[in-house]
Amino acid sequence: MSLSEIYHLFIQNIRETKWPEWVSTFTQIASVLYARKNNILVYPTGIIGVLLAAYVYFFLIHPPLYADASLNIYYFAMSVYGWYNWVQKKNGDTVYPISWCSKKELSFGIGFFFLFWALIYFVLIQFTNSNTPILDSLVSSSAITAMWWMAKRKIENWLAWIFSNIIAIPLNFYKGLMLFTLMYVLFLLLAWWGYTEWKKKYKSANSELIGKLRLSL
């Protein structure tokens, strides 16, 4: 396929984009921007976006992206869980501040990824008519891990999102979801931005804590 053909296909698909995909795209972009800022609004905007995305993946494309559709239902559940975690405070301090994963949390997350990759791939090839089982399962399993780490405010969540977005871009392009393709390109850039931003916030918070400890001595 030539560049000209790709361009015309892209424009055609943009023109045919239904309103749920438009609203889902903009609310999910807003959610990632809020996540980068460590703002609680990441969750209400994200909930709207993922529920509409699930509808798109289940009902607006054929064959459906079963894993991605189901993944967005998982996003909804984890958004509720993450929202609850982020507002928790103990003695006036946030229970889940920005931090790196411990070795145990990192090992658990990686194991979580491989377990769900194998499980989702098996389900897709055995019980669905999916024609993209490898990519679909990779996107889903890495995003499951990312969402879990994000709910705990772990910096590594951004690395998992970067990997997931890299796979999601060609997958959505192949399925003709051009607006979602653009969204994942933007998500890839925002994920890297979020990663660097959270590292700065973590370093700044640690510097403040060390300063307070020195003053108390």
- Three-state secondary-structure class, residue 117: helix
- Rounded to whole angstroms, how far apart are CA atoms 202 and 179? 33
Residue entry with tokens 């559709």: 69
Q: Are 75 and 50 in contact (CB under 8 A)?
A: yes
Own/partner pairs for 166-171, CB < 8 Å, 24+ apart? 167/135, 167/138, 167/139, 167/142, 168/139, 170/135, 171/65, 171/68, 171/132, 171/135, 171/136, 171/139
Query: Considering the chain, what is the average pLDDT of its residues?
Result: 87
- Three-state secondary-structure class, residue 107: helix
Whole-model pTM?
0.82
- Rounded to whole angstroms, how far apart are CA atoms 84 and 155? 18
Residue entry with tokens 């928790």: 88
Count of alpha carbons within 13 Å of 131, Cβ hemisphere only? 7
Count of alpha carbons within 13 Å of 111, Cβ hemisphere only? 6
Tokens of 189: 């850039």
pLDDT at 104: 94
Hey, what amino acid is at 19? W
Mean of pLDDT values over 2-8: 71
| 193 pLDDT more than 70 | yes
Lowest mean per-residue pLDDT among 54-68, 138-152, 192-206: 54-68
- Rounded to whole angstroms, how far apart are CA atoms 155 and 206? 14
Q: Are 112 and 148 in contact (CB under 8 A)?
A: yes
Task: Map out the domains of the chain as residue ranges.
Answer: 18-88+101-216
Residue 75 CB burial class (10 angstroms; 0-12, 13-18, ≥19): buried
Predicted confidence (pLDDT) per residue in 66-104, tens digit? 877 888 898 899 999 999 999 888 777 788 899 999 999
